């Protein structure tokens, strides 16, 4: 898939009222150096988790994949 940036900044600037304690915890847990880094890290992690959750809806829907038991048997044969 190709993405084109026609001179537009792909960042969104916004003002958000975030509780101080929550932001402090986010900075501590992410080991971020800035508030922005902590927030971007938290959003990135959240989006990743949601993408993985969406993928679980497809679990077991592909008939062409082998089962864990079949994979284990193949590995035992060497």
Residue-level pLDDT at 14:
87
* pLDDT tens-place string over residues 9-39: 677 888 999 999 999 999 999 999 999 999 9
Looking at the predicted structure, is the pLDDT value of residue 66 above 70? yes
| Cβ atoms < 10 Å from Cβ of 17 | 4
With vertex at residue 50, the alpha carbon angle to CA 41 and CA 17, rounded to the nearest 5 degrees, is 50
Q: Give the burial class of 38: count Cβ atoms within 10 A of its Cβ; 0-12 exposed, 13-18 middle, 19 or more buried.
A: buried
């Amino acid at each position: 898939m190709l993405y084109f940036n026609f001179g537009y900044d792909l960042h969104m600037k916004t003002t958000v009222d975030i509780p101080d304690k929550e932001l402090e915890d986010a900075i501590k847990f992410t080991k971020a150096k800035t508030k922005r880094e902590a927030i971007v890290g938290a959003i990135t992690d959240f989006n990743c988790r949601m993408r993985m959750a969406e993928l679980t809806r497809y679990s077991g829907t592909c008939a062409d994949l082998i089962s864990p038991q079949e994979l284990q048997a193949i590995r035992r044969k060497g």
